[in-house]
Amino acid sequence: MTQTLQPVVNPFADLDIDRLHRRASSKWSYYPKDVLPLWVAEMDATLAPEITTAVTDALAEGDTGYPWGHACAEALAAFATDRWAWTFDPAVTHDTSDVLSGIVDAIRVLAPGDGPIVVTPPVYPPFYAIAETLGRAVVHASLSSDGRLDPATLEAALIEAGGAATSGAQPVVLLSNPHNPSGVVHTRDELAEVARLARQHGARVVSDEIHAPLMMPGVTFVPFLAVPDTGPDVAVLSASKGWNLAGFKAAVVVPGADAAKTFAATPRRAGGHAGLIDLIAHGAAFTHARPWLDAALAAIDVNRHALVELLRDHLPAVRYTPPDSTYLAWIDCRALGLGDDPAAAFLERGRVALSSGIPFGDGGAGYVRLNLATSPAILADAVARMASALAAATA
């Protein structure tokens, strides 16, 4: 059915707390109602009407069978061409239930054996769970003091990982692109250096690009597979974060040219595929809901800068740099005297839930991650609660 253009409104405007508390999602259900939740990476936004239309049309038609074809990958490819000037062949992609499942599948197919997984902490905590699931050792290539990929550290980690693997096993660099939790957007040169080092040391790269649609104004995203010499590698993308579709589980595994041949020669796994309705929702996001995404980005942009002033006024000792991507604020609270886990103090004394920096690994102690994808009023309330928690802890 042809989509009718809908008026674009701020998807975070006038959010009602009581209505948000009626949501069954983890963000609003995990904690008691007196806790203001700004933790898990889930938006408070209202859903893009174009996605609602696509899903309800499919339901009305009884289109709830098995998925077929590459329609969602084709929609992603068109979005990638328009937004990032990157082209890939949808026919060689594979749909999967979510990005993490795609990462696990890619590692199993491309790098069988016991090759360690190199991560760049502080980084998305489930990366460590992936290594545990696969029975792989984790090797740290910690980011630089300004949150950038560090070539010397990465090379040392690859040498260590290669020495720990059995003969013939390939290490894997698990990349967060753009980076979660900091929102840093890796440059083309940085990504090209990752590819060069991976080839030099016989490693594969799997790039988690779930936050790729969430670029702030003036910032350009570089897909990992858009840099030279990434044929053996894989990227996994999804509309999940950009359009708040975690409840519609789908992702697309995009292999480089050499990796595509490996996938083609590997029997498809028995489970883990996305459902048809999920793929319809994601395809509608990439194709029809771009204006909604742009409205959401504009609102997040306002919030990321508003947080600078809120923290300056209420918690001047903390350090925070507005992210270039994502809707996540990575806040250095080490000067507050709240120990390694300030999120615990903010929760106990301020009744505001933030993500603790500790599970993000090396460099995460003393930090919190705050979700910016909410209304300005809720954001202001959260910072006020953080300040009251600090006052109570130091009284």
Chain-centre distance of CA 50, in angstroms?
23
The DSSP output letter for 138 is E
Return the CATH number of the domain spanning residue range 57-288: 3.40.640.10
Mean pLDDT, the chain, integer? 95
Which amino acid makes up residue 133?
Answer: T
Contact assessment for residue 146 and residue 183, using Cβ atoms and an 8 Å cutoff: no
The string of pLDDT tens digits covering residues 253-273 is: 999 999 999 999 887 654 578
Among 3.90.1150.10, 3.30.1520.10, 3.30.750.24, 3.40.50.2300, name the CATH number for the domain at 17-47+290-394: 3.90.1150.10
Q: Which residues contact 339 (CB under 8 A, 6 or more apart)?
A: 345, 366
The string of pLDDT tens digits covering residues 297-332 is: 999 999 999 999 999 999 999 999 999 999 999 999
The Cα–Cα gap between 244 and 300 comes to 13
The string of pLDDT tens digits covering residues 154-192 is: 999 999 999 888 888 999 999 999 999 999 999 999 999
- Judge whether residue 129 has pLDDT over 60: yes
> What is the structure's pLDDT at 272?
75
**CA separation (Å) from 380 to 62, 224, 285, 355, 384?**
44, 36, 30, 17, 6
Coil/strand/helix, residue 320: strand
The Cα–Cα gap between 6 and 12 comes to 16
Contact assessment for residue 307 and residue 166, using Cβ atoms and an 8 Å cutoff: no
> What is the structure's pLDDT at 271?
55
> What is the structure's pLDDT at 5?
46
The string of pLDDT tens digits covering residues 39-87 is: 999 999 999 999 999 999 999 999 999 999 999 999 999 999 999 999 9
> What is the structure's pLDDT at 166?
83
The string of pLDDT tens digits covering residues 358-374 is: 999 999 999 999 999 99
Coil/strand/helix, residue 130: helix
pLDDT (average), residues 232-248: 98
Tokens 């996540």 appear where? Answer: 328
pTM of the model: 0.95
Contact assessment for residue 369 and residue 148, using Cβ atoms and an 8 Å cutoff: no
Q: Which residues contact 220 (CB under 8 A, 6 or more apart)?
A: 84, 185
Q: Which two tokens stand for residue 154?
A: 């990465």
> What is the structure's pLDDT at 176?
98
Percent of the chain with pLDDT over 70: 97
Question: What are the residue ranges spanned by the domains of the chain?
Answer: 17-47+290-394, 57-288
